[in-house]
Amino acid sequence: MNGDSVDIDLARTWVRATAAAVDKHKDHLTQLDSAIGDADHGINMHRGFSAATAVLADFEPETVGAVLFKTGTTLISSVGGASGPLYGSAFRAMGKALDAATADTEQFAAALAAGLESVQKLGAAAPGDKTMIDAYAPALAAFRQHAGAGADFAAAALAAADAAEEGMRATTPMQARKGRASYLGARSIGHQDPGATSTALIFRTLAETVEAR
């Protein structure tokens, strides 16, 4: 494998590293969610990615997509609330888009786009609604831009992680227009969105996983 592709082992390592990162930050995610949600985002994400890691340990996939699809299916079946269906649908859509043992940077960009489309279709959210989309959309744009310019996978993943974190921070002054937080109206202003935060965490973990290989 070269620096311009992701293989089955890296995909599995990404999911495992995400589980570890969510475990480390679950209290922070729950704290954010306690301000504008149901105070269970960290707990739910931890449950889902821990379950996915356990399932993948005994799974023998033939494609990168199979790893991500299995992860998405496990998230949907093990996580309550909105998080399971949203994150699960993203991973399942990404998985469907990747049907080979390796995926190059442009193929992975297309898979990320499929994931975002799936989330937007399910949650009916757009950029500016103070949701995970506010981290995901700029991350995808950055990844696509770098992929289109011929950058290697590590550079594209790093740019995506930086963009996701910038989008995450930008949710703080927003008023929520979707999800549980939207019920708070103006009281949702001044709080960083937990979904955008966990999404940024997933993209940062991807960048770190690729960098460490």
Q: Give pLDDT < 70 ranges for the chain.
A: 1-3
Q: pLDDT tens across 127-144, in order?
A: 999 999 999 999 999 999
pLDDT, position 3: 59
Instruction: Tell which residue, 141, 129, 140, 143, has the closest CA to residue 195.
Output: 129
Entry pTM: 0.95
Sorted by sequence, the CB contacts under 8 Å of residue 93 that are 6+ apart come out as: 72, 111, 114, 115, 117, 118
Token pair 């592709």 is found at: 5
Return the SS3 of 109. Answer: helix
**Total number of domains constituting the chain:** 1
List the domain range (segments joined by +) for residue 154. 5-212
pLDDT, position 38: 85
- How many other CB atoms sit within 10 Å of the CB of residue 201? 23
- Determine the Cα–Cα distance for residues 144 and 184; give it in Å rounded to an integer: 35
CATH code of residue 100 = 1.25.40.340
pLDDT, position 149: 94
